[in-house]
Amino acid sequence: MFAFTTEPAYAQQADAADRLAGYKKEFHFPVKDGREVIYFCGNSLGLQPHSVQAAIETELNTWRELAVGGYFNGKNPWLYYHQYCIPTLAKMMGAKDNEITVMNALTVNLHLLMLSFYKPTPSRYKVIMEAGAFPSDQYAVETLVKHFGFDPDDAIIEIAPRAGEKIVRTEDILTTIHSTGDSLAMVLFGGINYYTGQLFDLAAITKSAHAVGAIAGFDLAHVAGNVPMQLHDWKVDFAVWCSYKYLNAGPGAIGGVFVHEKHAGNADTPRLAGWWGNDEKTRFKMEKGFIPKTDASGWNISTSQVFNTAALKASLELFEKAGIENLRKKSLHLTAYLEYLLQQLPHLNFEIITPSDPEQRGAQLCLYFRERGKEIHDKMISSGIIVDYREPGVIRVAPAPMYCSFEDVYRFYEILKTNF
């Protein structure tokens, strides 16, 4: 699809033609030895947009000048603060506005949503997930089934790659769902596996789960702001994500939630409640009896986290202008270019374990080193290349399209070719 070369002119021409190139100037980059680093770690923590400082100062000013009056007045009345993020997130996730909310943090939201949707019986209690899921997901599912009195070794089915392979075949996921059948209560997959970078077929997994009467839920931590979704049309039951990776909302930033309207619109859908999820018409009556809002914000528990959401609001304004489809198009080009250049470096003795099919990955390529992986990672860091390392032996390289350029990818290649 792309006629790549190893000449620097290719990167220069690609950047010149890139309509999103200007967004790079909207972010703060760490500097090493007087030069901006090559930042390929947005899959772990996104860079800070320049607009974040002013966004936070706006709310500090409101607090200083209006105090409690900030809930109803000021530039961004706090009473509705979580709502300001919904429209852009809904576009990214392929959702309706009433299916999206922001609250808490990723794993807290995962626990809350699984408690709503995991309704085990003596015969239907199994949970299917990918082997090697991110530890928080493993811990969450383990403690969930224990909470209901089940043995994790019996209740949790983990789907692993076949012998000698690094990624999970979709056919194996679907076959396992089908064979588990009436004993399956829920499927809980990561949208993109953190270690391999594999993007799972969420539509097929959801359809297969529903065919046997099970719930389909997803952890989209590595998807949000990276790959466009169609959660509503795929009929996904629920999904959660963080906003500190590709969404650039800062460390510990507010988490995101999707609940399909067939559940969100039903006031009888079980949930743990707090007053911020109560119908606003009766919230301030301070009476007994929880009356949930009939949208995803019916899962909100506590008062909107203004300062923990301000950076996300600022970052989403950039996403709204850039467009998630445009970012995905650039990402496909950028990641394919990275893959091509890495293939020109056989002396480093690594394997790209992320699927080569662009439709089965996002911005991240995972380089598996059978030996010296941590040593090579540390040398990259000292050379001004910010990537991260995951045991065993994987260096994760993720050029986020919002602020990474083709020249960044070429510089990365040149440093590895010359110095490693």
416, 387 contact by CB (below 8 A): no
Among 289, 320, 351, residue at a domain's last position: 320
- Structure confidence at residue 279 (pLDDT): 83
Q: Work out how many domains the chain is built from and give that number.
A: 2
Residues 85 and 234 placed together within one structural domain of the fold: yes
Longest Cα–Cα distance of the chain, Å, equals: 70
Helices then strands, each counted (H, E), the chain: 15, 17
Distance CA 312, CA 92 (A): 14
CATH number at residue 338: 3.90.1150.10
Nearest to 273 by CA among 96, 103, 82: 103
Measure the CA angle with vertex 181, ends 180 and 184; round to 5°: 70
* Domain CATH code at residue 204: 3.40.640.10
**Whether 143 and 256 share a structural domain:** yes
Q: Report if residue 167 sits inside a domain.
A: yes
| 336 & 315 share domain | no
Cα–Cα nearest to 330, from 414, 400, 237: 400
Q: What is the pLDDT of residue 284?
A: 79
User: Which domain covers residue 346, as residue numbers?
Assistant: 8-49+323-419
Specify binding-site residues for pyridoxal 5'-phosphate: 106-107, 134-137, 219, 222, 244, 275, 303
Query: Are residues 176 and 157 in contact, defined by beta-carbon separation less than 8 angstroms?
Result: yes
- What are the pLDDT digits (tens) for 27-73? 999 999 999 999 999 999 999 999 999 999 999 999 999 999 999 99
The reported pLDDT for the residue numbered 251 is: 97
Cα separation, 224 vs 102, whole angstroms? 13
Q: Does any domain span residue 385?
A: yes
Alpha helices in 181-323 (DSSP H): 202-211, 231-234, 261-264, 280-283, 306-322
Which residues, given as ranges, of the chain have pLDDT below 70? none
Contact 234, 255 (CB under 8 A): no
Task: Assess whether 287 and 412 both reside in one domain.
Answer: no
Q: Both 274 and 351 in a single domain?
A: no
Say yes or no: 138 and 269 in one domain: yes
Query: Both tokens of residue 208?
Result: 């297969």
Residues at the binding site are 106-107, 134-137, 219, 222, 244, 275, 303
Identify the pLDDT of residue 221: 98
Indicate whether 1 belongs to any domain.
no
**311 within some domain:** yes
pLDDT of residue 298: 96
The per-residue pLDDT for 331 is: 98
Residues 298 and 343 in one domain: no
What is the crossing angle of helices 51-66 and 306-322, to 10°? 140
Q: What does the block give as tokens for 206?
A: 């959801």
Is the distance from CB of 411 to CB of 38 less than 8 angstroms?
Answer: yes
pLDDT of residue 280: 79
Contact 297, 64 (CB under 8 A): no
C-alpha radius of gyration, the chain, whole number: 22
Domain assignment of residue 185, yes or no: yes
**3 state SS of 85:** helix
Q: Are residues 92 and 230 in the same domain?
A: yes
Q: Would residue 225 count as lying in a domain?
A: yes
Residue 161 has a pLDDT of: 97
Q: What are the residues facing 102 on neighbouring strands?
A: 256
Alpha-carbon separation of residue 372 from 230, 352, 378, 379 (angstroms): 40, 15, 10, 11
Say if residue 99 is in the same domain as residue 235. yes
